[in-house]
Amino acid sequence: MIHNRKLALCIGFSLAGLMQAQSGNLQIIWTDVEGGASTLIVTPSGQSMLVDTGFPQDDRDAKRIFAATQAAGLKKIDILWITHFHLDHVGGVSALAKMIPIDKFYDHGDSIEATTPQGSKLYDDYKAVGQGKRVTVKPGDRIPLKGVDITAVSAAGKVIDKPVTGGGAANPYCDAAVKKPEDKTENSQSAGFLLVYGKFKFLDLGDLTWDREMMLACPANKLGTVTLFQASHHGFSSGQSGSPALVFAIKPQVVIVNDGATKGFDADAYDEIVKIPGLEDMWQIHRAVRSDAAHNTNERMIANMEQGQADQGLGIKVTVAKDGKFTVTNTRNSFSKTYTSH
């Protein structure tokens, strides 16, 4: 029964993906990789950028991501963007590369955890797959995908020097901002980007840490406001990300929480997100099972309600039209809601 349901959803979204590509819409697709990260972007021209590849375990995540690429009508991935070299972000790369061609590999440069056994293996495996195809991203770089404007805003522990268009205003949230020590893990090296499509702006900072978020936010907000924000670090994991100085200043209309059932998103993170000025809605990849109903979004906007064997591995899809209107759809129940970019 579950298999048939997944097949129907896959066929439905495949047809929808082809129709949207023909109509010139932008697609952003979150694949459930059980607390890892994977975000597929398909531009109005049909080019693609996949952000992160989830875990390596049993090739589960690579298979799910590949299914998403097929549902979107892709024959290759133009750019694989790896935010940083942690197991839940780069673990699926070797398996995925055997399933679908990948033209270019964008990353922040050398792993700073390559001296550890796991860090060394992850980085070596990635280098083997991306050999001859790697591009080192620096803050301020423009990413060559047609029909959208993508700017790297963080990478290798640094952030953009100059504000993006619409950014640069003094940030009042800096006055009482909490400061945290410098993070010295791969999280702090995350390659983050801002995608602009007309009035629509999507921000994905990977697992960028609190101290680097403050570099983007204070004393001036270098990013301005955004339309859609993927809550960093799987929903501000353990308070390592999610500085209110940044989150409140960028004022996203909609937040997507790419969490796991027991990873990343907790009651404190929920309480922060719902206080964002002008927030219209929050969507979750997983119900946070350790939190009560009051600290999860509306069930209609949660892709996976269960955990473990009962989890169906469903995702969330965003379709953005040229006029700035965008629709968020939950593949679990086909519930969707349309918003207008400010």
Domain ranges for the chain, please list them: 2-340
- pLDDT tens column, 139-172: 999 999 999 999 999 999 999 999 999 999 999 9
The dotted CATH code for 2-340 is 3.60.15.10
- 58 Cβ neighbours under 8 A, 6+ residues apart: none
pLDDT at 12: 45
Tokens 């809601």 sit on residue = 337
pLDDT at 3: 44
| SS3 call for 24 | coil
**Alpha-carbon distance values, 306 to 59, 62, 268, 287 (Å):** 21, 21, 21, 7
- CA 318 to chain centroid, in Å, comes to 12
Mean pLDDT of the 164-182 span? 96
**pLDDT at 68 exceeding the cut of 80:** yes
- 215 Cβ neighbours under 8 A, 6+ residues apart: 159
Tokens 């375990």 sit on residue = 57
CA-atom Rg of the chain in angstroms: 18
Whole-angstrom Cα distance, residue 286 to residue 258? Answer: 7
pLDDT at 15: 41
